[in-house]
Each structure stands twice: as C-alpha cells, then as structure tokens.
Homo-oligomer: A and B are copies of this chain.
Amino acid sequence: MIENVVFIGAGNLATQLALAMTDKGISVKQIYSRTLEAAKELAVKVNADFTDDLSNLIPESDLYIVSVKDSAIEEVLRNLSLDKNQLIVHTAGSIPMEVLNRSTNNYGVFYPIQSFSKYKNIDFSDIPICIEASHASTLLKLQELAQRLSSSVQQINSEERKTLHLAAVFVNNFVNHFYAVGAEILQDKKLDFNLLKPLIRETAEKIECMTPIEAQTGPARRNDQSVINEQLKMLQDQPEFHKIYSFVSQSIYHIHLKQKHDLL
C-alpha cells in the first residue's frame, strides 16, 4: 500500500493532487520544483520537504509522481538518479507510459481527467482517475491509491488516454476559450459578462440529462442563414473570431445532417 509520495513538479495538478492526498492521510514527503519558491509554496501547504535539485530527492518513497509540463518530462527523467526499483508515475494525458521505462523497472500513469488551478481547490471524489502500470501488482497499488481519492478509477491504456486528452482539450480548453470570446465580444460594447453566466451554467448542466446532439440549439442547428450572415457581419473586424464562427457553424450543421442520415 502506498503510504507516502514525492512530487516532482509543483504546478496546478501537483498542487491539487498533493492537497487531496494529504487530506486522505497519504504523507507527501517532498516537493521538487525547478524553482525553489514554487516547491516551497506547495511544501508548506502539505508539510513536506522541498528542493530544486533532482539529485537531492529522498531515495526511498512508496511513489514518485512526475507532474511537470509535457515538454519537461524527458529532461526531468534524464536527471533522475533513483534506484531502478522505485515506483514512478507521470500524470500526463498525451505522454505514453513507456517514456518511464529507462528510469525504472516499475512505473505507471496516474491521470485525473480534470482541469486544475492552483488556487481553486478540487474535490476529487467524482473525478475519473485513469491508471496504467507496468505490472499487475503495480496496477493494484495505483488502483488502491486512486480509490482512496475517487469513486471513479479507470484502467486506461496510453492510446485511450491520448484520445481522452484530445476530447478533454475540446470540452475544457476550447470551451473556456469560447467563454473568453463571449467576454471579449461583450466588453467591446461595454456589456457585462455576468449576463451570460446563467446561460453558461445551464449549457453545462443540460448534458447531464441529454446528449450534446439533443441539447444543440441555435442558428447553426436550424441552418438559419439570415442570423448566421448577420452575426458573421458583426465579426468582420475580428477575422479570427469570424473564421471560427463560420467553421463551427458549418460543423454543427454537418453533425446534425449526419445524425439525421444515421437515423434514417
């Protein structure tokens, strides 16, 4: 059973995961970050040691969690000097598990499907945690750990995880960008973004009780060209928003045509 962990990384995900683990009685022994200040900031919250030197990692811990940005994983792994039997996982959606096999014989992935902020704490209890491991015994250990945090633990391989991450980019990063676009459109005319918040809430809530295809409304769904053309005209000074409006509208129309066709 995993009783204690070391975090390699102190970003949003590491922060939220370290807080949640501490809350469940799992001891966070050490935080590493490239910047000592970041390591310290998190370490203070979870009562851990901290370092900015990978060669100073505590040599014995039940689990090492590499939670740095994708492009930094390789460099971090190159500079690790742990015993080859230590259990190491990463938390990245798009990185195959096998990147860890040069650093250790005992590895896996611990990927919560969620978007984390440093200062908005997350309740992990219904967040799907996707796990994958090099050995069946390791998988069981990770499963037991994940189950202490969440009621939704999923065994997901690296290919599937990449697909989940791609879909997550659409429903999280891209959705959030459309909130930003909405805010900017209103700001240009001195209108208050708060006016859209109940609509944003309802849009997210709707798909709890119907599919997104069923939930779709609006001019593109109805192929209402007069509204579409008028709205495109309003965006003529914002070519990037104009292009996105046009392509997304087409895509909505096509997905509904296809849907109708599939139902025939």
Residues of A within 8 A of B (CB): 12, 69-71, 94, 113-117, 120, 122, 126-128, 152, 154, 159-160, 162-186, 188-189, 191, 193, 195-204, 206-213, 215-222, 224, 226-227, 230-231, 234-235, 240-241, 243-245, 247-248, 250-252, 254-255
Contacts and interface: CB of A to CB of B under 8 A. Distances in A.
Contacts of A115: 199, 202-203, 206, 217-218
Given A174-B248, A217-B115, A251-B241, A185 B167 contact: yes
A177 B251 contact: yes
Given A166-B234, A177-B252, A204 B206 contact: no
B175 A203 contact: yes
Contact of A234 (B152, B163, B182, B203): B163
Given A203-B115, A204-B204, A243-B247, A185 B212 contact: no
Given A207-B200, A244-B248, A251-B240, A178 B170 contact: yes
Per assembly, the copies of the chain total: 2
A240 B244 CA distance: 11
Contacts of A201: 204
Contacts of A177: 212, 216, 220, 248, 251-252, 255
A160 to B, nearest CB: 6
B251 A244 contact: yes
A10 to B, nearest CB: 15
Given A171-B182, A177-B251, A182-B212, 17 more contacts: A70-B219, A70-B227, A94-B230, A113-B195, A117-B206, A117-B215, A167-B191, A170-B178, A170-B179, A172-B217, A174-B244, A174-B248, A175-B179, A179-B215, A180-B211, A193-B211, A203-B204
